[in-house]
């Protein structure tokens, strides 16, 4: 099992987070037929492993991000979650984004170093939006809190995890319209056909597993817009 996610809820501390809880549950339910080990890699190294034909499973990704927009290059499970990139601003200076990036004109955006934001790229290039990067979503929320940036974006699954901290309640405004919406799947490399069948059955059974619902509740995902989708076929 591979992942490049270094942020909550996927990774919350060394060897802790949704990635590890999911892998533990998977091993528990496999009853010894398979044993899955989670390995964390930088995105470029993970891409290299895929490009050179190494076999494995990538957790909680979408074909649009993995050079497989038609979901035909790799094997894919049904979606585990549907997620969305939220527009987050301060509650006392809310940005009421409705799908038109002109709402951000003249503002400073808090991004993540090395990450692309396709919906904002053109406006940033034109100088309509100033981009100021940091090392993580938690840092951007701090910068937003203290007025160093005007808005940021992050997955709802991540923002909902941070919102569990009572110190953050009421500080931030989440626009009704998301920057983008997408499903999260398991990517399985082509030679692992039997593993793919097992994982597909496992994902389809998650909606009936109390342990999975407890995991989602722990990370604040049952009440968020990042909802579990037990039977959604691969889609973009």
94: domain range? 83-174
pLDDT of residue 77: 98
- 127 pLDDT more than 80: yes
Q: How confident is the model at residue 231 (pLDDT cuts 50, 70, 90)?
A: very low
**Is the domain of 113 the same as that of 145?**
yes
Stretch 222-233: mean pLDDT? 52
Q: Give residue for tokens 């496992």.
A: 202
Q: Which pLDDT tens digit goes with each residue over 165-208?
A: 878 888 999 999 999 999 999 999 999 999 999 999 999 999 88
pLDDT at 234 over 50: no
Is residue 69 located within the same domain as residue 136? no
Residues 12 and 42 in one domain: yes
Residues 12, 126: one domain?
A: no
Confidence of residue 64 (pLDDT cuts 50, 70, 90): very high
Which CATH number do you get for residue 49? Answer: 3.40.190.10
pLDDT at position 167, please?
A: 83
Nearest to 137 by CA among 164, 110, 104: 110
User: Cα(202)–Cα(198) distance, rounded to whole angstroms?
Assistant: 6
Domain co-membership, 132 together with 115 = yes
Query: What is the model's pLDDT at position 132?
Result: 97
| Domain annotation covers residue 234 | no
Regarding whether 141 and 90 lie in a shared domain, the answer is yes
Q: Is 103 exposed, middle or buried (0-12, 13-18, 19+ CB in 10 A)?
A: middle
Query: Could you read off the pLDDT of 110-121 as tens digits, one per residue?
Result: 999 988 999 999
Say if residue 94 is in the same domain as residue 65: no
Judged against a pLDDT cut of 60, whether residue 30 lies above it is answered with yes
One domain, residues 137 and 28: no
Highest-pLDDT range among 112-121, 122-131, 210-219: 122-131
Q: 214 and 190, same structural domain?
A: yes
Task: Classify residue 116: in a domain, yes or no.
Answer: yes
Q: Are residues 112 and 186 in the same domain?
A: no
210/158 same-domain check? no
The total of structural domains in the chain comes to: 2
Q: What is the mean pLDDT of the chain?
A: 92
Q: Give residue 236's pLDDT band: very low, low, confident or very high (50, 70, 90).
A: very low
Q: Quick one: 93 and 165 in the same domain?
A: yes
Quick check: 232 pLDDT over 50? no
Residue 69 lies in a domain: yes
In a domain, 235, yes or no: no
Output the CA–CA distances (angstroms, integers) from residue 3 to 28, 206, 220, 232, in the order listed.
20, 20, 21, 22
Query: What are the tens digits of pLDDT across the range 12-24?
Result: 999 999 999 999 9
Give pLDDT, residue 10.
97
Within its chain, how far is the Cα of 81 from the centroid?
A: 9
CA angle 193, 199, 204 (to 5 degrees): 130
Domain contains 118: yes
* Percent of the chain whose predicted confidence (pLDDT) is above 70: 94
């Amino acid at each position: 099992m591979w992942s490049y996610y270094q942020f909550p809820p996927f990774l919350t501390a060394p060897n802790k987070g949704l990635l590890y809880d999911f892998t533990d549950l998977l091993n528990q339910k496999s009853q010894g037929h398979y044993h899955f080990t989670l390995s964390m890699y930088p995105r470029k190294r993970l891409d290299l492993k895929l490009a050179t034909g190494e076999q494995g499973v990538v957790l909680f990704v979408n074909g649009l991000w993995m050079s497989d927009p038609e979901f035909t290059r790799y094997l894919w499970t049904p979606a585990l979650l549907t997620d969305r990139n939220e527009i987050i601003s301060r509650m006392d200076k809310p940005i009421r984004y409705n799908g038109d990036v002109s709402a951000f004109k003249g503002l400073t955006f808090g991004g993540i170093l090395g990450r692309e934001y396709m919906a904002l790229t053109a406006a940033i290039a034109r100088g309509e939006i100033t981009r100021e990067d940091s090392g993580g979503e938690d840092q951007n929320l701090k910068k937003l809190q203290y007025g160093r940036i005007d808005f940021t974006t992050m997955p709802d699954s991540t923002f909902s995890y941070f919102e569990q901290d009572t110190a953050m309640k009421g500080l931030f405004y989440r626009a009704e319209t998301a920057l983008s919406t997408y499903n999260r799947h398991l990517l399985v490399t082509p030679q692992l056909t039997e593993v793919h069948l097992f994982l597909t059955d496992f994902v389809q059974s998650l909606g009936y597993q109390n342990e999975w619902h407890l995991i989602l509740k722990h990370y604040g995902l049952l009440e968020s817009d990042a909802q579990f989708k037990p039977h959604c076929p691969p889609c973009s």
